[in-house]
Structure formats: structure tokens, C-alpha cells
Structure 1
């Protein structure tokens, strides 16, 4: 009886560690920086934002607007 209980506990520990290993993500995605459009206030990523002549970030809808 004791050996079956010991075997069940060992298998339970193996299963637990296997599940923990499965939950760890392999690659962490990079977090993009967000900036606010100076005209409409919408948050956009830095890579898609346009920089105006005065140094303000603009979304693509307001990129051509004069300062």
C-alpha cells in the first residue's frame, strides 16, 4: 500500500513540474512605446507616429496638418 502511495506522489510531482515548464513562455514580446497625438490625443506606437516640425508626435491622420 505504501509503495503505491509513494509512486502516486512521485508521479504527481513529475506532472506538476512538467506543467510548470509548459507554462513558461519561450519568447517575451517586446513592449512598444506609445505616444499621444498632439491633435486628437489618440495613443499610437512610436514607430507609426510622425514627428512634426515643433517636435510633437502626430498620428497618420494629422501628419500633414500645419502646427
Structure 2
């Protein structure tokens, strides 16, 4: 997880995100305590599929355009 995202969490804040490679991801819960410590907890295995347009390609404005 990029440190910049975790730094933006408010005390008591939570962030849930899929973390991992294309075929092996875990849904993680990050929490920031009142004193600024970050903890993480594995919630469950997941697999997110890429967003595609009607023809099966990447839609405009995605990472493939950069």
C-alpha cells in the first residue's frame, strides 16, 4: 500500500483495498489508531478483473493510455 494513502487516513480511519498480483489478491483492512499507528488485517482472498470496453479492450483514460 502506498504510504501516501495511509498518511491521509484520519485517526480512527479505515481503508479497505485489494492488494496483490493479477491472480492472487487479498482484501486488506487498514486502520489508523488515535495515536497514528497503522494496523492491517487480511479479510479474504479476492480477484478483481480489469475494466474493459465492449470490444474487450481497455476503455479510454485507463493506465494503458499513459
Same fold (TM over 0.5): no
TM-score in terms of structure 2 length: 0.18
The structure where strand makes up a greater share of residues is 2
With CA pairs under 8 Å and 6+ residues apart, which has the higher RCO, 1 or 2?
A: 2
Is the radius of gyration larger for structure 1 or structure 2? Answer: 1
